[in-house]
Structure 1
């Protein structure tokens, strides 16, 4: 037995809601900043271990709000993306990052092969297997299955303030992505864009290209600036904005 398996003391995911009658599947890959105590926060100080490098602040509460409003299936991650990033292929250089933004992740440096494999086996593979199962089941039941990842991003990046309030990221699902953007654009005060502040790509992402496009279902990532969803009232506002267009 791989001794590193013992480090992982909770399941890889929580199925917050399961509703196979709804063709919409929500997923929150960066929902948690949890790092098992034995890993000593990967060498990070308390503040850094709770910052955006560890999880998408506000994304879980937004995803839950959307799931509640729409009665839609929601799969959420239970571990920090610093352990292994669920929206990166295993071969991606930042699958297990040793540097993130301005922080050096000491606990991710010079990892034994067995430790890397334990993170893959205990976190990455169960999460993606479950998501694949949910999608396969939904495709059997519906001809309009669609997948939405819920993410957030920092208001300031490398010292530069970001005016963008939200982005909708997509590859092949242009029609679905533009439908969401058009719905949001009915509020002229919103600053929104397609494929900003990031873009999805094979070799860099898993949710959109692999679970979505490769399954021939519409798939997008929602990226909301995290100071837009750091309070309950703000989250409620975005639930009301997004739920009619998803």
Structure 2
């Protein structure tokens, strides 16, 4: 981001990617022989989300926490006890085996994110957390009607304002993009950002989930690199407008 952005930024940033890969660690690979097809799809990971997260973190000079273990082993964006925390084959394992997975893959990730957010709050007073995701263009026969989704908790004015500004900036940078808020999921649903909102003091944490339609990720040529560039540039414009209090 250019100097006009970095000069006015007074808050900290953390970028995360909970579904960055489809890796199954060696001790669990035997359980997933029949899941190879699913691992290669959105069921296994979020296409493009890791690359987007890396470029956002670089642009914001922000720490990045990313996972490449498949969500089928353990979904880092779900709470413990959520019915889709594990794939069915893992849900059939003993309590001790599932606790081991949480101990080695889930808890360290969550603890690292929480630690970085708290450090940012201690230094800046406010942290913006961007969680990078992508969504399948069609689910259960229904076409998703957005290119970009910005997820937030409507009860938190700071998050609503940030997403409104980002949506406006995206429309200005790329008028053909369809940008929707709290779509295709609700930002206040179960997830890492919702959990962090409960852990942090009021007014110190803004959690935004960025959702990108995977149809853009799989396109050949410059479409996908250009979209990443637009997302970063529009976020920079958003931060400048927020910094100077200009209208979105």
TM range (shorter): 0.7 to 0.9
How far did 1:226 drift?
1.0
Structure 2 residue aligned with 1:241: 230
The reply on whether 1:229 has 2:217 as its aligned counterpart is yes
Q: Alpha-carbon deviations, 1:8-48, whole Å to 9, x = none?
A: xxxxxxxxxxxxx9711110000110002342362434332
Structure 2 residue aligned with 1:24: 13
Q: Alpha-carbon deviations, 1:51-80, whole Å to 9, x = none?
A: 110110111111112223333221101311
Unaligned ranges ≥5, structure 1: 1-20, 99-106
Report the Cα distance in structure 2 between the residues aligned to 1:243 and 1:91, rounded to whole angstroms: 35
The reply on whether 1:178 has 2:164 as its aligned counterpart is yes
Report the Cα distance in structure 2 between the residues aligned to 1:41 and 1:69, rounded to whole angstroms: 39
Structure 1 residue aligned with 2:185: 198
How far did 1:213 drift?
5.8
Report the Cα distance in structure 2 between the residues aligned to 1:157 and 1:24, rounded to whole angstroms: 32
Report the count of equivalent residues.
216
3-state SS of paired residue (2:78): coil
Contact kept, 8 Å, 2:216 with 2:224, in 1: the verdict is yes
Choose which of 137, 141, 154 in structure 2 pairs with 1:155.
137
The reply on whether 1:121 has 2:103 as its aligned counterpart is yes
Contact kept, 8 Å, 1:22 with 1:72, in 2: the verdict is no
Unaligned ranges ≥5, structure 2: 1-9, 236-248
3-state SS of paired residue (1:218): strand
Q: Alpha-carbon deviations, 1:67-106, whole Å to 9, x = none?
A: 23333221101311111111111021111132xxxxxxxx
More helix by share: 2
Q: TM-score, normalised by structure 2?
A: 0.80
How far did 1:214 drift?
4.2
3-state SS of paired residue (1:27): strand
Report the Cα distance in structure 2 between the residues aligned to 1:141 and 1:233, rounded to whole angstroms: 38
3-state SS of paired residue (2:134): strand
Structure 2 residue aligned with 1:211: 196
